[in-house]
Amino acid sequence: MQFFGGSEISPSPPVPTASGNNAHMMYVFNRNGVCLLYKEWNRPLHTLNPQQDHKLMFGLLFSLKSLTAKMDPVNADKGNLGVPQLPGQGCSFHSFRTNTYKLSFMETPSGIKIILVTHPKTGDLRESLKYIYGLYVEYVVKNPIYSPGSPIKSELFNTALDQYVRSIS
């Protein structure tokens, strides 16, 4: 196993096929931590049951945001570590990468968090996440029958989302 010299330490997973399905899974949370949507396209490994998985994901994001705001080398005045921050307050991260996946994150001013987990070599997905938020506004928020804070069950949203995510490569 080559250590120095530019090659990767751990073997990376196989590059996705040309069918373009790059995404592993997606989460949407609201500001209270309720998981509004969880979609899975390719997830060979399930470590925990769904409730625990959602809670862990939300907790991880909360802590990462807190850490990022604290570690920010640019802003002088920061809150204390662990204090909940308002959406948009303080420096926030937009993605992190491990050797097996890349997690892209976006938080809207209303506290909606959109998370997309993809192949590690994926590029910057900030624009894609904004587009997905646009889909959410069109198909979910503008739906008079949808009550905020409840899981999303809109067929139109699911189809549009599926189509869009499959087209990201």
List residues binding another protein (CB under 8 A). Answer: 3-4, 6, 9-11, 13, 24-25, 42-45, 47-48, 53, 56-57, 59-60, 63-64, 66-68, 70-76, 78, 81, 91-101, 103, 117
Query: From CA 122, how far away is CA 22, in angstroms rounded?
Result: 8
Instruction: Please say which residue, 25 or 36, places its beta carbon nearer to another protein.
Output: 25
Helix (H, G, I), strand (E, B) or coil at 106: strand
| Both tokens assigned to 89 | 């307050």
Of 11 and 144, which has the nearer Cβ to another protein?
A: 11
Nearest distance, CB of residue 155 and another protein, angstroms: 25
Minimum CB separation from another protein for residue 133, in Å?
A: 17
Close Cβ partners of 141 (under 8 Å, ≥ 6 residues apart) = 148
Q: Which is nearer to another protein, 31 or 78 (CB)?
A: 78
Smaller CB separation from another protein, 91 or 160: 91
Q: How far is the CB of 34 from another protein (least distance, A)?
A: 18
- Residues sharing a CB contact under 8 Å with residue 67, sequence separation 6 or more, in sequence order: 81
Among candidate residues 20, 18, 25, 37, the one with its CA nearest the CA of residue 149: 37
Q: Kindly state the greatest CA–CA separation across the chain.
A: 58
Helix (H, G, I), strand (E, B) or coil at 69: helix
- Amino acid identity of residue 77, one-letter, is D
Q: Which C-beta is closer to another protein: that of 68 or that of 143?
A: 68
Q: How far is the CB of 147 from another protein (least distance, A)?
A: 29
